[in-house]
Amino acid sequence: MMTGSLRQVFCRRDFEAYLPRLAHSNDGGTALGQVADARRVVMNENASAVEHLTCA
C-alpha cells in the first residue's frame, strides 16, 4: 500500500523536476542516482497500485 507522501509524489505532473529537491536532502555524491534507483524500485513494486491510483 502506498503512503500518503508517495501518493503525493506519484500524483505530481512534474515528478522529474521533484527529483533534484529529493536529492538535496541526501549529502551523498550519488544522490540523484539513488533517488532514480528508488523511484524505479517503487514503481516496479507498486505497479498495480499505480494503475489504480486516482489523484485528488
Identify which has the larger pLDDT, 1 or 40. 40
Rounded CA separation 50/19 (Å): 18
In this predicted structure, what is the pLDDT of residue 1? 45
Q: Is residue 13 part of a domain?
A: yes
How many domains, the chain?
1
Dihedral pair phi/psi, residue 29, rounded to 5°: -70, -20
Q: What is the pLDDT of residue 37?
A: 72
Residue 56 falls within a domain, yes or no?
no
Whole-structure pTM value: 0.28
* Domain with 46 in it: 4-51
Hey, what's the cell of 51? 494503475
**pLDDT tens digits along 15-52:** 555 555 555 555 555 666 666 777 777 666 666 555 55
